[in-house]
Amino acid sequence: GQQLNQSPQSMFIQEGEDVSMNCTSSSIFNTWLWYKQDPGEGPVLLIALYKAGELTSNGRLTAQFGITRKDSFLNISASIPSDVGIYFCAGHQNPGYALNFGKGTSLLVTP
């Protein structure tokens, strides 16, 4: 599968701070997805992006599908302790094909 580069690998922030993470690919993707995974659980879909340039929000989360179709970012505003977890970007070049995953960004939030 296509390798996705996700950064940063980990973040350690204080409650209330904003967070930004991004994902890049060497190939054009048609779909970008952002998931959050808690320890011992399956990934939960946060935001799905289907069109280049698309900017979508889900509460305090905002994600964008890059214009070049080779990148995406996720922002979390005013972080809270329950934001702790691993955030994965994922995407695919053709719908229905298996997703390519980034290696994840581990987020720790201190009160």
Partner 1 sequence: EADIYQTPRYLVIGTGKKITLECSQTMGHDKMYWYQQDPGMELHLIHYSYGVNSTEKGDLSSESTVSRIRTEHFPLTLESARPSHTSQYLCASSDLAGETQYFGPGTRLLVL
Contacts to partner 1 by CB under 8 A: 1, 31, 33, 35, 40-45, 48, 50, 86, 88, 90, 92, 95-99, 101-104, 106
Which CB atom, from 33 or from 109, has the smaller least distance to partner 1?
Answer: 33
| Min dist. Cβ of residue 101 to partner 1 (A) | 5
Residue among 4, 3, 2, 11 at smallest CA distance from 105 = 11
| Min dist. Cβ of residue 106 to partner 1 (A) | 7
Which CB atom, from 50 or from 78, has the smaller least distance to partner 1?
Answer: 50
| Min dist. Cβ of residue 105 to partner 1 (A) | 11
Residue among 101, 109, 108 at smallest CA distance from 29 = 101
C-beta neighbour count of 42 within 10 angstroms:
7
Which CB atom, from 77 or from 106, has the smaller least distance to partner 1?
Answer: 106
Query: What does each C-alpha distance from 25 to 17, 102, 108 come to in angstroms?
Result: 27, 9, 25
Which CB atom, from 66 or from 102, has the smaller least distance to partner 1?
Answer: 102
| Min dist. Cβ of residue 16 to partner 1 (A) | 26
